[in-house]
């Protein structure tokens, strides 16, 4: 056991040192296989390493004198071990290897090494080594002395060891907090050092009287301070345990999420294959499966990307081949971007100034501010291009606000005048009079015109006229953009008929989307849970898509093409202009179409949940718990190469398994200690009662009945209690005359529930059956189960440890190695939980309770919609 602990210590050091070394060899390479999920798993690894480093860097372990103690103990221990070789070559070689490794790290000269922390860990190895070697020889030490006699160097070494142990015991309370990460390791060290000192001193080969007195004095001091130190240690352990369980939960969550995505990937591939097989049997061109969420999913992952990729080509045109072409395109883009910025400024300025005007109380103040708004909007439109001109390639910059209305007339237009009905005073006239300045006319000597008397109405007029100017400028900007950037329009349109890597074309995708939306519209109209407000949006989208399809069909009409030599060019321009206009390509690129389709498919998806379509439990849980997110996740796992995605997920799973194993290897002792101490705290056992139980277990419970009468039982029991971890983690040192009592659990059984939760979380460990002693009856109880009148209906929301770890598992872990275990048929039948099921047990508990909670909400939505529908019929 101690060799294992020493190895774990060195492994921790190696991990910490390896972290610094690994950082030196991070060459910055990236590969496609290490995708998002792999990176997520690697992030979990980084967090795990930081957790270990935080323990290593605990300030309680700094500056406690262990460095000096380690250096002194190395010399004394070397002499003592040399004089008392005991034949345990394997253990001695292992310890020597650990020391050599630590010494090489300490002497490496690497500036990144935390030598202080490494020295402290080295001290721990040397202390343990000295204790192990001495304890092993103690039972027969007196025989060796009687037969051979102690040499002077052995006596000196014995005195050195006793002095160092005495010094350590004297300073023990000052560094006891350093040992929180390994529960009761400090107490075990104390008991072992006491036994070592006693054996050496009673041998007569060390100067015993004063040293024994010092040791007893230090022991009394330790016991006096142990109460305070113990309380602090308990609090620190609680904080440490919260971090450990959080790390465990985070690692399992990452594993389970990656597992879910593997299932989603397989499901999406399966659905695509079914779709292809189903399409092959159909003669209809559109090939849509009516009233199926799969049709929407199919549209999102295959047809919408095909259309949006083509829309981007429509917007950006062909790639420039020469620098002159690039300059030309940049000038065109400058015009478009300048107009887009101006439109954003106009909308923002109007909204902001309108809010300020509405908050004003004085009418004259409102008039002045409204006039300022008009002049600000005029300035933004006049300066939309900041005076930019054309270039050697013709007029590539144009202010389309001024194409719609001359700049000087913009104030009159915004307040409701048109060119043909401008105020007479502001227009040229036959009498030769100079027209009145528009600003002067508006201000009207500081009194402003009558329309300023009704500010709300004037603001509404300004907004209507501003929107009209924006729409006109957008339309002209789109045509300008198409004309300047898309030189070969027929080729771009022809590309819409070419099948792509998704085995569809843009033209066919428009047909598919149109058919899906029409079926969805019918489905929503028939549903009692429908939302009326989405119907006109779907109808509007169908009209836009069908407009484009109609123009595509005209382009395919050979008769029309034959009648007009310019038909190909004109038809292509009509299609592209229609696409720009219907899908707002200039401003929103592909997002207008994509966002609408996503909204519709998500609504279809939610409607399927409310109507309880036929899905298996796993699909239904994923649908309910993720809402819109599920379709997004399906698209994410499907939109790139499936084989590459699978490798990414498997990478994440493999890394997370190693993380879980690393957590268990480091903190398994903490798992046992927490379960036992929490169970005892829940029962309100005093520390004396806990120690008596441990002694009873050592003397009776764990001794086979046929050997309980042996005189060696007390010796075996005492050795087990002091030096075997299975007992030691249950041992509590305290003054037996002043027992430390516990209050027990509260009315809500919070301690018991906390232990049960940890038991279910520990199903993620390599061998959860070893925790059966504490966890066999553990159940996480759902709050819905507790609140229910008929609890049997909701028992499925609970999670039992015993459902995942069978009796066969409990015997298997220690009998399998000896060949004594053979599973019975009923045990094989009951042992159905997989490795993944165990790792995800706690996550699945949370998921099914969240699903139930969301289902209740969905039922409320259904009931509300049904009531609204009934009220509508009654009216």
Residue 271 pLDDT exceeds 50? yes
Q: How far is CA 116 from CA 58, 154, 806, in A?
A: 12, 31, 47
Look up tokens 């879910």; give the residue.
Answer: 260
pLDDT at residue number 68 = 47
- Contact status, residue 525 vs residue 535, Cβ threshold 8 Å: yes
Rounded to whole angstroms, the Cα distance separating 129 from 103 reads: 15
Range from 331-335, 345-349, 849-853 carrying the lowest mean pLDDT = 331-335
Question: Do residues 382 and 413 make contact, with C-beta atoms less than 8 angstroms apart?
Answer: no
Give the pLDDT mean for 372-395: 68
pLDDT, the chain, mean: 65
369-383, 532-546, 742-756, 860-874: least confident range: 860-874
Confidence check: pLDDT of 124 > 70: no
For 25, phi then psi, to 5°, come to -105, 20
**pLDDT over 50 at 24, yes or no:** no
Distances (CA, A) of 307 to 500, 509, 543, 699, 757: 11, 7, 16, 78, 49
Domain spans, the chain: 282-318+492-639, 323-485
In this predicted structure, what is the pLDDT of residue 779?
92
CB of 746 closer than 8 Å to CB of 230: no
Q: Of 261 and 818, which is predicted with more confidence?
A: 261
Q: Find out whether 600 and 315 touch, Cβ atoms under 8 Å.
A: no
The residue among 188 and 150 whose pLDDT is bigger is 188
| Spatial distance between the Cα atoms of 233 and 872, rounded to a whole number of angstroms | 67
Supply the pLDDT for residue 118: 45
- Which residue is it, tokens 């407000």? 533
Q: How confident is the model at residue 86 (pLDDT cuts 50, 70, 90)?
A: very low
pLDDT in tens, 670-698: 777 778 778 777 777 776 676 676 666 66
What per-residue confidence (pLDDT) applies to 596?
81
Query: Which residue reads 């018991």 in tokens?
Result: 752
Asked if the model's pLDDT at residue 151 lies above 80, the reply is: no
Question: Which residue has better confidence, 368 or 95?
Answer: 368
Q: Rounded mean pLDDT of 466-485?
A: 73
Long-range Cβ contacts of 385-393 (<8 Å, 24+ apart): 385/335, 385/338, 385/339, 386/338, 388/334, 388/335, 388/338, 390/331, 391/327, 391/328, 391/331, 393/327, 393/328, 393/331
- Which of 90-99, 206-215, 376-385 has the largest mean confidence? 376-385
Give the tens place of pLDDT for each residue, 423-436. Answer: 878 777 666 677 77
- 572 and 596 in contact (C-beta within 8 Å)? no
pLDDT, greater one: 841 or 122: 841
Those residues whose C-beta lies under 8 Å from the C-beta of residue 355, and which sit 6 or more positions away, are: none
Chain segment 395-410, per-residue pLDDT in tens: 456 777 777 778 888 8
The lowest-confidence range among 20-24, 600-604, 656-660, 837-841 is 20-24
pLDDT exceeding 70 applies to what percent of the chain?
44
Is pLDDT above 80 for 144?
no
User: From residue 350, how far is each of 65, 346, 458 by CA, in Å?
Assistant: 71, 6, 13
Instruction: Tell me if 126 sits within 8 A of 165, measured CB to CB.
Output: no
Among 398, 390, 408, CA closest to 338: 398
Q: pTM for the whole thing?
A: 0.46
- Residues 568-615 pLDDT 10s: 777 777 787 777 777 766 555 556 777 788 778 778 877 776 676 555
Q: Say which range, 87-91, 406-410, 554-558, 565-569, has the weakest mean pLDDT.
A: 87-91
CA distance 499 to 170: 83
Nearest to residue 730, comparing CAs of 692, 760, 765, 699?
692
Q: For residue 873, give the H/E element and its range.
A: helix 841-874
What is the rounded CA–CA span in Å between residue 239 and residue 123? Answer: 26
Burial class, 399, CB count within 10 angstroms (exposed 0-12 / middle 13-18 / buried 19+): buried
Tens digit of each residue's pLDDT (9 = 90 or more) over 153-207: 445 555 665 666 566 656 555 555 554 444 344 444 444 444 445 444 444 444 5
Cα three-residue angle 596-599-605, rounded to 5 degrees: 145
Record the tokens describing residue 361, joined without a space. 């109380």
The DSSP result for 495-531, as a single string, is GGGS--TTS--HHHHHHHHHHHHHHHHHHHHH-TT--
- 704 contact partners, CB below 8 Å, separation of at least 6: none
Whether residue 76 is predicted with pLDDT greater than 70 in this model: the reply is no
pLDDT at residue 330 greater than cutoff 80: no
* Alpha-carbon span 693 to 699, nearest angstrom: 10
- Band (730; pLDDT cuts 50, 70, 90): low
pLDDT-based confidence at residue 146 (cuts at 50, 70, 90): very low
């Amino acid at each position: 056991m101690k060799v294992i602990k020493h190895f774990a210590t060195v492994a921790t050091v190696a991990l910490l040192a390896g972290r610094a070394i690994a950082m030196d060899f991070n060459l910055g390479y990236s590969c496609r296989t290490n995708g998002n999920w792999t990176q997520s798993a690697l992030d979990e690894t980084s967090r795990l390493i930081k957790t270990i480093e935080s323990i290593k860097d605990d300030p309680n372990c700094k500056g406690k004198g262990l460095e000096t103690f380690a250096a002194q103990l190395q010399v004394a221990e070397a002499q003592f071990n040399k004089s008392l070789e005991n034949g345990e070559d394997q253990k001695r070689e292992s310890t020597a290897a650990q020391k050599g490794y630590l010494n090489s790290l300490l002497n490496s000269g690497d500036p990144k090494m935390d030598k202080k922390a490494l020295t402290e860990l080295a001290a721990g190895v040397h202390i343990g080594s000295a204790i192990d070697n001495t304890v092993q020889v103690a039972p027969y030490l007196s025989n060796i002395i009687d037969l051979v006699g102690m040499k002077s160097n052995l006596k000196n070494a014995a005195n050195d060891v006793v002095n160092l142990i005495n010094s350590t015991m004297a300073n023990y309370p000052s560094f006891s907090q350093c040992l929180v990460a390994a529960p009761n390791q400090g107490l075990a060290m104390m008991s072992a050092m006491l036994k070592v000192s006693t054996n050496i001193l009673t041998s007569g080969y060390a100067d015993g009287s004063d040293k024994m007195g010092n040791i007893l004095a230090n022991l009394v001091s330790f016991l006096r301070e142990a109460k305070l130190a113990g309380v602090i240690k308990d609090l620190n352990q609680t904080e440490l345990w919260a971090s450990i369980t959080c790390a465990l939960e985070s690692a399992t969550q990452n594993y389970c999420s990656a597992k879910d995505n593997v299932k989603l990937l397989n499901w999406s591939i399966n659905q695509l294959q079914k779709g292809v097989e189903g399409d092959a049997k159909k003669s209809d061109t559109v090939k849509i499966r009516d009233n199926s969420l799969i049709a929407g999913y199919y549209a999102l992952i295959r047809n919408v990307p095909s259309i949006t990729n083509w829309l981007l080509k429509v917007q950006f045109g062909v790639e420039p081949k020469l620098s002159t072409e690039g300059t030309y395109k940049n000038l065109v883009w400058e015009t478009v971007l300048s107009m887009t910025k101006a439109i954003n400024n106009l909308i923002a300025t109007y909204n902001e100034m309108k809010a300020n005007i509405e908050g004003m109380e004085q009418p004259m103040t409102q008039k002045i501010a409204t006039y300022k708004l008009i002049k600000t909007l005029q300035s933004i439109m006049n300066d939309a291009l900041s005076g930019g001109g054309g270039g050697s390639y013709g007029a590539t910059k144009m202010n389309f606000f001024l194409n719609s209305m001359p700049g000087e007339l913009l104030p009159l237009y915004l307040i409701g005048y048109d060119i043909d009905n401008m105020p007479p005073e502001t227009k040229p006239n036959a009498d030769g009079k100079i027209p009145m300045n528009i600003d002067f006319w508006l201000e009207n000597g500081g009194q402003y015109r009558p329309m300023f008397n009704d500010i709300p109405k004037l603001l509404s007029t300004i907004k209507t006229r501003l929107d009209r100017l924006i729409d006109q400028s957008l339309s002209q900007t789109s045509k300008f953009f198409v004309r300047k950037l898309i030189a070969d329009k027929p080729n771009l349109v022809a590309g819409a008929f070419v099948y792509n890597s998704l085995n569809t074309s843009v033209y066919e995708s428009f047909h598919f989307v149109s058919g899906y939306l029409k079926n969805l519209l019918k489905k929503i109209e028939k549903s009692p849970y429908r939302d009326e407000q989405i119907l006109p949006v779907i109808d509007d989208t169908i009209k836009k898509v069908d407009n484009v399809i109609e123009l595509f069909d005209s382009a395919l009409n050979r008769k029309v093409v034959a009648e007009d030599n310019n038909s190909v060019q004109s038809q292509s321009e009509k299609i592209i202009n229609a696409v720009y206009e219907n899908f707002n390509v200039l401003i929103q690129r592909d997002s207008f179409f994509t966002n609408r389709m996503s909204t519709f498919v998500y609504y279809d998806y939610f409607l399927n949940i409310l109507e309880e379509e036929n899905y298996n439990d796993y699909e239904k849980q994923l649908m309910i718990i993720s809402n819109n997110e599920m379709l997004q996740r399906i698209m994410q796992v499907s939109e790139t190469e499936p084989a590459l995605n699978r490798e990414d997920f498997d990478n994440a799973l493999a890394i997370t398994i190693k993380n879980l194993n690393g957590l268990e290897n480091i903190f398994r002792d903490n798992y046992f200690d927490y379960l036992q101490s929490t169970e005892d705290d829940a029962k309100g056992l005093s520390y004396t009662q806990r120690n008596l139980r441990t002694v009873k277990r050592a003397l009776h419970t764990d001794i086979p009945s046929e050997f309980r009468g042996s005189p060696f039982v007390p010796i075996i029991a005492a050795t087990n209690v002091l030096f075997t971890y299975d007992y030691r983690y249950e041992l509590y040192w305290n003054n037996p005359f002043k027992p430390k009592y516990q209050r027990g659990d509260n009315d809500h059984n919070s301690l018991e529930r906390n232990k049960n939760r940890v038991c279910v979380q520990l199903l993620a460990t390599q061998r959860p059956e070893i925790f059966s002693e504490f966890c066999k009856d553990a159940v996480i109880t759902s709050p819905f189960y507790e609140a229910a009148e008929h609890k049997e209906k909701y028992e499925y929301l609970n999670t039992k440890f015993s459902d995942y770890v069978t009796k066969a598992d409990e015997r298997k872990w220690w009998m399998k190695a000896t060949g004594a275990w053979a599973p019975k048929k009923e045990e094989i039948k009951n042992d159905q939980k997989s490795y993944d099921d165990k790792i995800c047990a706690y996550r699945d508990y949370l998921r099914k309770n969240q699903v139930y909670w969301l289902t209740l909400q969905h039922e409320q939505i259904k009931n509300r919609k049904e009531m609204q529908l009934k009220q509508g019929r009654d009216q």
